[in-house]
Amino acid sequence: MAGRVLLAAGALLALSGCAGWQNMLDTASADSSHVAWLTILFTILLVVIWAAVMVAVFVARRGRPGRELHDPLTIDPGFDRRTGYVVGSLVAATLVVVLVLTGLSYAGQRRLFGPREEAVTIRVTGHQWWWEVRYESQDSSRSFTTANEIHIPVGQPVNFKLNSSDVIHSFWVPSLTGKLDAITGRENQLRVTAERPGVYRGQCAEFCGLQHAHMGILVVAESQEEFERWRDGQIAQARQPEDDERRQGLAAFAAGPCAMCHTIRGTNAGGKIAPDLTHVGSRRYLAAGALPMSRGNLAAWIVDPHSIKPGVNMPTIKLSPDELNAISAYLESLK
Ligand SMILES: [Cu+2]
């Protein structure tokens, strides 16, 4: 009984890993399917080899009835020749397996990172502990910056140019791409074509300090029309506040320290070292996946970011309750 329960629990645990929005086996692009296929192939092959070795060890330990253990000092040319063949062919087989697996994974890398034509170029810069996302266009008036949430059109090749502003980070959206480091002073390129619409979660995959675990990224793959609509919305400047509370919020934001770090396009706030907040209200999450977006969570974040992401590079700023309310209301309205 206990054994069966354990087995069922084990199977459940294993299978529950097979679906979800951050899962390399639940693939949504040819590239991630290829990586998943390689993983499965490696696993099966290595399990087979492991099992064969275990069987051989078992057989060797048991020895054969009626046959004395081979005395290493006696000379038996027949036995030595046979052992030579076995060891020789196993060494050759090992070499072949290692070479084939190396070849396959090299071909896989070429496929993931090799040059391809592209429809959308997105520059992603890792910061401790958030992602800066810049859409580049030939027409500079259509380039813009956002953070932590990337939108891409389904079926179109997208080129991510990865970089870092501080330590090494690693960009990984398991359902869509392979994993690639973001390194200071170097541009790594990752291409991907999403095959079906969806919201895919990713995560920084290179330990980068205190809040490494709270360095999530969201990729929203959507139809070309939805993508264009989203992009036009993001290119636009921030919406003007429509009531007194929000006007107060904008004033408090622009006059205080917030504006030294954050940009809100269309206002005086032009800080460049923190996430662009021009359309922060349109994002699904706050602070790289730490909290779902809502007015209440905005207030919770602003009043004490360190209680949510200890060690974060945003200071706790003293605000009156009215200012806090007004700023949260204003930021939430920035769709
Ligand atoms: Cu990290």
CA of 205 to the centre of ligand 1 (A): 6
Whether the per-residue pLDDT at 65 is higher than 70: the answer is no
Q: Is residue 68 in a domain?
A: no
Residue 229 inside a domain? The answer is no
The answer on pLDDT for 14 being more than 70 is no
Q: Answer whether residue 107 is part of any domain.
A: yes
CA 208 to mean position of chain CA atoms? 14
- Residue 67: the pLDDT is 61
* Ligand 1 centre distance from Cα of residue 121 (Å): 23
Q: How far apart are CA 168 and CA 128, in angstroms?
A: 10
The answer to which of 25-34, 121-130, 252-261, 264-273 has the lowest mean pLDDT is 25-34
- Phi–psi pair at 204, nearest 5 degrees: -65, 130
Q: Are residues 320 and 194 in the same domain?
A: no
227 alpha carbon – ligand 1 mean position (Å): 28
By residue count, the chain amounts to 335
> Quick check: is 37 in a domain?
yes
Beta bridge partners of 127: 130
Same domain, 122 and 198: yes
For residue 310, what are the domain limits?
A: 244-332
Same domain, 53 and 109: yes
217 and 283 inside one domain: no
* Domain shared by 181 and 308, yes or no: no
Give distance in angstroms: CA of 127 to centre of ligand 1: 9
Of the three residues 221, 256, 278, the one that is the final residue of a domain is 221
* Domain annotation covers residue 14: no
Do 114 and 171 lie in one domain? The reply is yes
Residues 40, 123 within the same domain: yes
Ligand 1 centroid from CA 313, angstroms:
14
SS3 177: coil
What pLDDT shows up at residue 32? 85
Instruction: State pLDDT tens for residues 264-314.
Output: 999 999 999 999 999 999 999 999 999 999 999 999 999 999 999 999 999
User: Domain end: 189, 221, 253, which one?
Assistant: 221
Q: Does 190 reside within a domain?
A: yes
Phi, psi of 131 (to 5 degrees): -110, 125
Number of domains within the chain: 2
pLDDT in tens, 234-261: 999 999 999 999 999 999 999 989 999 9
> For residue 327, what is the enclosing H or E element?
helix 321-332
Give me ligand 1 centre to Cα 189, in Å. 18
- The CATH number given to whatever domain includes residue 308 is 2.60.40.420
Where do the DSSP E strands lie in the chain? Answer: 120-127, 130-136, 144-147, 149-153, 157-164, 169-172, 180-182, 188-193, 198-204, 216-222, 285-286, 291-292
